[in-house]
Amino acid sequence: MRTPANRRPTIVDVASAAGVSKSLVSLALRGDEGVSETTRMRIIDAADALGYRSNAVARALVQGRTALVGAIATDLANPYHSEVIGGIERAAGAHGLEVVIGHGQRDPRRITRWVDRMIELNVDGLIVVSSWAEPSALALAAAAAPVVVVGRMPQQARDVDSIVSDDVGGAAMAVRHLIERGHRRIAFVTSSDRPAAMARQLGYETAVAEADANVPHVVSLADDAARALAALLDGRERPTAVLANNDVTAVRVMDAALDRGIRVPDQLAVVGYDNTVMASLVRPTLTTVDQPNDEIGRLAMAMLAERFEGRRVERHVTISPALVVRGSSG
């Protein structure tokens, strides 16, 4: 792939160009105190002239650390994931670490493979922004480097730290908001049966049960979304409010309502979940549940740092979401 002719210059090339030993090149380039000013200059000039760049692979091998944190995301197109990763990146700088990202592309096998690959790459720590990685792969990874999972794992893996958002509480908060606004017929619409959606449904059911005269009404868009939405909106007992399992689902509900001439929020209040950018762009703007994604990323990085400092016991943190009230709930 690289011909010998244009291979990258090494420390040995710099050494012979500067007329010194390779040890001295290494010391000089890393700014060691005990190198005379004149030779340091000579070495740096030689390195620049050759276009020398340190080989991080060789350095990592001898030092046993790469100064790299791996971040694996289920789906980069999803703003939730990219925001969490942004938080990780901002926090990593303070620890002198760089963040390399592996993209899972919504494929559990690919995500699990990235866990393996990141460990093979010798990252110093690993943050998995996904609940789709195999617990066994995570446990194996945790034996080699600290691992934090952001998301609701179906099954805990040994020595793996975690951060989850309080989906039960967030959904309950949204329902209570609708009840305060006078709504009594409130439906929950979901496009997923993954753990996070299930937890939100549980929060919904709990909060609905608290308020008298409410019958929990759950609509799944899993099989035939158009039919499910029709059943919801064209039925005699149409709800006056809907909580969706996420913003995308909420927008679908709003679109279906508007298509039928049902006014939002007057005839139907809609609340989403995740506070994605879309929530403030649609009309009416969407009331939704916000998770502090940036903060979650920072915390994940901080939890890795604690492990670097010697923490041995597992740590599991739950983050509280907040309601953002906008136009779609009246």
Partner DNA sequence: CTGAAAGCGCTTACAG
Which does residue 220 touch among its own copies, DNA, none (CB within 5 to 8 A, set by kind)? none
Local structure of residue 243 (DSSP, 8 states)? E
- CA nearest 192: which of 139, 248, 147? 248
Which residue, 201 or 291, has its beta carbon nearer to its own copies? 291
- CA nearest 189: which of 234, 225, 213, 152? 225
Does residue 68 interact with DNA by CB under 7 A?
no
Q: How far apart are CA 138 and CA 90, in angstroms?
A: 24
Which residues are CB-neighbours of 226 under 8 A, at least 6 positions away? none
Q: How far apart are CA 114 and CA 68, in angstroms?
A: 15
Beta pairing class for 322-324 and 288-290? antiparallel
Instruction: Tell me the one-letter amino acid at 207.
Output: A
Does residue 16 interact with DNA by CB under 7 A?
no
Which does residue 12 touch among DNA, its own copies, none (CB within 5 to 8 A, set by kind)? DNA
Binding characters for DNA, 19-58, by CB under 7 A (x = yes): -xxxxx-xx-xx--xxxxxxx------------x-xx--x
Which does residue 281 touch among DNA, its own copies, none (CB within 5 to 8 A, set by kind)? its own copies
Q: Are 32 and 85 in contact (CB under 8 A)?
A: no
Q: How far apart are CA 222 and CA 44, in angstroms?
A: 62
Does residue 270 interact with its own copies by CB under 8 A?
no
Does residue 184 interact with its own copies by CB under 8 A?
no
Does residue 53 interact with its own copies by CB under 8 A?
yes
Which does residue 140 touch among DNA, its own copies, none (CB within 5 to 8 A, set by kind)? its own copies
Please count the residues of the chain: 330
Does residue 64 interact with DNA by CB under 7 A?
yes
Q: How far is the CB of 164 from DNA (least distance, A)?
A: 34
Which residue, 144 or 281, has its beta carbon nearer to DNA? 144
What SS3 state is found at 316? strand
Does residue 59 interact with DNA by CB under 7 A?
yes
Does residue 129 interact with its own copies by CB under 8 A?
no
Which residues are CB-neighbours of 120 under 8 A, at least 6 positions away? none
What angle in degrees, to the nearest 10, is found between the helix axes of 108-120 and 135-142?
10
Site for its own copies in 198-217 (CB under 8 A): none
- Taken in order 52, 71, 137, 317, the sign of the CA dihedral is positive
DSSP string over 86-101? HHHHHHHHTTT-EEEE
Pick from 193, 255, 266, 314: which binds its own copies (CB under 8 A)?
255
Which does residue 2 touch among its own copies, DNA, none (CB within 5 to 8 A, set by kind)? its own copies
Kindly list the residues in this chain that would bind its own copies in the complex (CB under 8 A).
Answer: 1-2, 6, 8, 51, 53-58, 60-61, 64-66, 76-77, 79, 82-83, 85-86, 89, 98-103, 105, 116-117, 119-122, 124, 140, 143-145, 251, 255, 258, 277-278, 281-283, 308
Site of interaction with DNA (CB under 7 A)? 7-8, 10-12, 20-24, 26-27, 29-30, 33-39, 52, 54-55, 58-59, 61-64
